[in-house]
Structure formats: C-alpha cells, structure tokens
Amino acid sequence: MEEKLLSIKNNAISLILETKSVKELEEIKIQFLGRNGEITKLLKELPKISKEERPKIGSIANGLKNIIEEAISTRETTLKKTKVITSRSFDVTEPGIRPALGHLHPVTQAIREITSIFTQIGFTRVRYPEIEWDWYAFTALNFPQNHPARDDWETFFIKQQPDEKKGTVLLTPHTSSGQIREMEKGELPIKMLNIAKTYRRQSDVSHTPMFHQFEGLVVGENIAISDLKGTLNYFVKSYFGENRISRIRPYHFQFTEPSFEIDISCGVCLGKGCRLCKEGWLELGGAGMVHPNVLKACHIDPEKYTGFAFGWGVERVLMMKDGIKIDDLRILYSNDLDFLKQF
C-alpha cells in the first residue's frame, strides 16, 4: 500500500508541474482528489487493512492529499500570473533596452581628426619610439650639451647603458625626434605627420607628465615660409572653424631657424579682444623652418633642400576648440565619467 501511495504522489506531482493551463489543472485535481479519484479510492480501502497498519496508511494518505492540494494551488497561482503577463499588449518587434556603450576618449577623437585633416593635404602618418636616444631627442636637433632641456628636472632619463654614438636613453620629450628618424631614411621629398606620447617632468593645470604631440615635417626643394603659413592656416580653419585665422610671431627654437609661435584668433571674440584672450589671440604652438644644422645631421644638403616643421600638443588644441571648456588639462586623464560622457 505504501508503494502504491508513493507511486500516486510521484505521478501527480509530475503531471501538475507539466500542466500548461488552469483547465488541465482542474482535470488533474479531479483525477486524484475527486469523488472517484485515486486518493479517494485508497481511503475507501482502509477498512480492508489490518488495524495495526490502518493508522499509518491513513496518515500517509491524508499527508499525500495535502501535498497534492498544495502543489495544485502553487501551480494555479503561477499559471494565473503567467496569463496576466502574456495577456498584456506586447510588441515583439519593439527594440529592447540597449546596453550602455562607451566611446572613444576625447584625445583619441582629436588624434583621428588631426590625422584626417593633414592626410587630405598629402601628409603621411608615421610612428617612432617613445623610448629614445639622446641623439634623436637633442643632439641631432641642434641642442647644446648644457641646454636646460637636458636637465634631470625637465626630462625623464632611463637607467641604461649609454650608446657610444647615440648617448643616453630617455622618454622622448617631444615628437621632434621623429624628424631625425624620418630624414635619416634619405627619402626625399618628405611630408610626414608623427603623433605620439611625449614625457616631461611637469604637472599643473596646463601640463601633465605624459601628453600627446603631433609633429609635421616637410622637406624638399624650394620650401618656404609661405608654405608653412598656408599649411597652418588650413589646419586652423579645418579644425577650429572657417571663422578662425592664424598668425606667426618670431620666436626661438633650437631646431628651426627662423622660428615662430603660432597664434589663432580667439573663438570667443573672433580676434577683437576679450577677458579670455586679452588681445584677440591665443597661443597654439611652435613652428619654423628646419635649421640647416639639423639637415646636415641627417646628411641632407641645406643648400639644395629646405623644409618646415611644427609641433603642437594634441590636448592643447583640443582645449582650444569651440564649445569645449577645459580649465585643467589633468581632467582628461582623471577617469571622471561625468566629464568624459560629454564627448
């Protein structure tokens, strides 16, 4: 009798769990608990069992009845909830909730835009090492041995055995070292754009120890200052907008002669003068005609070939773009999502 009760229990629970509707559940309830149900039939047979086993079998049968009733009630509740959900108006073609997606860092966006602008006028993107020899970073660029840029407080030097010809090892402080590597190839004319990380021991609202520079170099016959000015003005109008213009001011750099600082008209007052720019202009970066000594260091005849170069900070030109208000360069690398989401 106990085995029969266990078999009925397993069969009933299995059928209840597989039920797909409340109607089917009612049929199962009648099958097991109705007047002529299997449990009812067993209870009617109790008088035929010995007096000793009768209480035990009766208790098991009643417990089984309660288990089946509880299982039916639970399944009925589940089916009714499912029916409510599926009965609601639901458009299966409606797009779901898309997962949050990130985007390129603003500096990466700026690098891609700068690359695109110069590629349109024939510049070729190149890449050179961030860990560099003194020869490429300073000596070949006409820096004297006692120049302040070679000081430990300006440049990150690496503890490594110096090379007899190329000197000490350092983290490149500017992308200008790429000029030397490009000219050493001896393939003229040159029209290159080098964008890379650079390193200097500076940290304040307008400097970070690591930043990005983009370096342009053009070398060929009859290259003049007018070519430099035209190139710079093309970039300024393409990146900052048609209403912005550039100007050059005399300056001094070791690797260019003559050398210039490049200014762009203020995006706020358009060159009229305001609280931001004071006189209508904002400093953009440096440029100039390649120094004859630099050409000679790369075995290029300065009597036959001339060239111009420029090197600016990617972060700096990004900060000066219309609509971007960044008053502290370091925030670009602070991982502040509230700030980065704006771009």
* Every domain of the chain and the residues it spans: 2-87, 106-340
State the pLDDT at residue 108.
Answer: 92
State the pLDDT at residue 87.
Answer: 47
State the pLDDT at residue 327.
Answer: 64
State the pLDDT at residue 70.
Answer: 85
State the pLDDT at residue 216.
Answer: 95
Q: DSSP labels for 127-192?
A: ---SEEEHHHHTGGGT--TT-GGGSTTTS-EEEEEEETTTEEEEE-SSTTHHHHHHHHT--SSEEE
C-alpha separations of 226 from 104, 289, 308 in Å? 36, 11, 10
CATH superfamily of 106-340: Bira Bifunctional Protein; Domain 2 (3.30.930.10)
The model carries a pTM of: 0.66
Handedness of CA 287, 290, 293, 296 (dihedral sign): positive
- The encoded tokens of residue 33 equal 């608990």
CA distance 233 to 239: 10
Instruction: Give the residues of the chain that fall short of pLDDT 50.
Output: 85, 87
State the pLDDT at residue 38.
Answer: 78
Over residues 84-102, the pLDDT tens digits come to 545 455 677 878 788 878 8
State the pLDDT at residue 83.
Answer: 60
Closest CA to 208 of 104, 107, 321, 340: 107
Closest CA to 291 of 124, 139, 126: 139
Helix (H) and strand (E) counts in the chain: 11, 10
Over residues 284-301, the pLDDT tens digits come to 889 999 999 999 999 999
